[in-house]
Amino acid sequence: MSNWALIIYCGLITYLTRFTMIALIKKEMFNDRIREILSFVPSAIFPAIIFPAIFINDAGLFQIQDNPKIIAAIIAVVIGIFSRSIIATIFSGLASYWFLIFVV
């Protein structure tokens, strides 16, 4: 599949989810239980992107030793929990990462 076809399909699926949400879904379709479970979707899916990006190195191997991304991510989580700020979380993580690879 060409890059453009990929982009268009991804755009279509994103658009269709949004349209479904606005035009097709009704409040009655979800009971409290389904709503409760759906509220866990971000917690279920984002770590699947976060963890490999931290623990798997460029060669595709699991790397726990000598990996500054782990420490930087932990600092970002701690800052995030206390600040509740998206910006502070991203920048504290990047700053610690740069500090670890360039200074330490």
| Nearer CB in complex with other proteins: 44/103 | 44
Neighbours of 76 (CB within 10 A): 20
| Nearer CB in complex with other proteins: 65/84 | 84
The alpha-helical segments, DSSP class H, found in the chain are 3-19, 32-38, 41-55, 68-83, 86-98
**Distance between CA 98 and CA 78 in Å, rounded?**
17
Nearest distance, CB of residue 62 and other proteins, angstroms: 7
Could you list the residues that contact other proteins (CB under 8 A)? 1, 3-11, 13-15, 17-27, 29-30, 35-56, 60, 62, 69, 72-73, 76-77, 80-81, 84-87, 89-91, 93-94, 97-98, 101
| Nearer CB in complex with other proteins: 48/103 | 48
Give 66's contacts (C-beta < 8 A, 6+ positions apart): none
Nearest distance, CB of residue 11 and other proteins, angstroms: 4
Calculate the alpha carbon distances from 25 to 18, 61, 104 in Å: 10, 42, 53
Nearest distance, CB of residue 82 and other proteins, angstroms: 10
